[in-house]
């Protein structure tokens, strides 16, 4: 998969969907170096628990202000809608992670179109722990749906650089991707990756 070239003069404005501050460090630097005028957008209803959601958002806001970019954040805690999306995906035999990517990238593409952006991309392309190819594919599909372009770059090449820089900046660095399932996977060695609904116990 080839990276996009530098932006033409008429499309220098780009919306960057941001999952968290540490994952934003390298993509932000790359985009700005290549001449993009970057605006951030935070929409991540998968993050659990609420204290974690607030901590990641606050850290991201601090970094965005430090580097001097404008940004918008959906501060609504959308865990319920995310869980419904995840449950529906599993019931249909589909990938929970893929449904999560689609939910977030569709929201970013919609926001981009409604606010005059012709191009958007995502910091999800930075992580070595996410399904890179599926993210890129969904990003392009979301862009087509909303009539804009998706900027692809393999930000994973700057993985260690971003890690080192985030540590230098004393950023809060989370130990799981954000959702309740990845949290359980991180700390429960017996977790099989499947969504488990509570058993109904009949009294009497």
DSSP 118-164: SEEEEGGGG-SSS-HHHHHHHHHHHHHHTT-EE----GGGGHHHHHH
What average pLDDT does range 75-88 have in this prediction?
89
pLDDT tens per residue, range 55-81: 999 999 999 999 999 999 999 998 898
pLDDT at 200: 38
pLDDT at 181: 75
pLDDT tens per residue, range 101-111: 999 999 999 99
pLDDT tens per residue, range 115-170: 999 999 999 999 998 999 999 999 999 999 999 999 999 999 999 999 999 999 99
pLDDT at 185: 66
pLDDT at 160: 97
Give the residue extent of every domain in the chain: 9-187
pTM for the model? 0.85
In order of 17, 76, 150, 170, 203, the CA distances from 167 in angstroms are: 22, 28, 30, 5, 53
Q: Give backbone dihedrals phi and psi of 174, rounded to 5 degrees, phi first.
A: -75, 160
Q: Does domain 9-187 have CATH number 3.40.50.620?
A: yes
């Amino acid at each position: 998969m080839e990276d996009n070239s530098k932006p033409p003069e008429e499309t220098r404005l780009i919306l960057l969907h941001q999952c968290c501050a540490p994952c934003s460090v390298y993509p932000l630097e790359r985009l700005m170096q290549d001449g993009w005028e970057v605006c951030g957008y935070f929409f991540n209803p998968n993050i659990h628990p609420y204290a974690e959601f607030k901590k990641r958002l606050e850290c991201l806001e601090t970094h965005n202000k430090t580097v001097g970019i404008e940004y918008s954040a959906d501060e609504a805690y959308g865990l319920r809608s995310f869980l419904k999306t995840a449950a529906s995906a599993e019931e249909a035999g589909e990938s929970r992670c893929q449904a999560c990517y689609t939910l977030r990238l569709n929201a970013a593409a919609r926001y981009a179109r409604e606010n005059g952006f012709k191009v958007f991309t995502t910091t999800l392309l930075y992580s070595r722990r996410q399904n890179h190819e599926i993210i890129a594919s969904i990003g392009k599909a979301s862009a087509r749906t909303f009539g804009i372009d998706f900027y692809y770059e393999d930000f994973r090449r700057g993985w260690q650089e971003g890690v080192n820089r985030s540590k230098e900046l004393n950023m809060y660095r989370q130990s799981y991707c954000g959702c309740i399932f990845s949290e359980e996977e991180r700390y429960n060695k017996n977790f099989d990756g499947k969504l488990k609904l509570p058993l109904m116990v009949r009294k009497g």
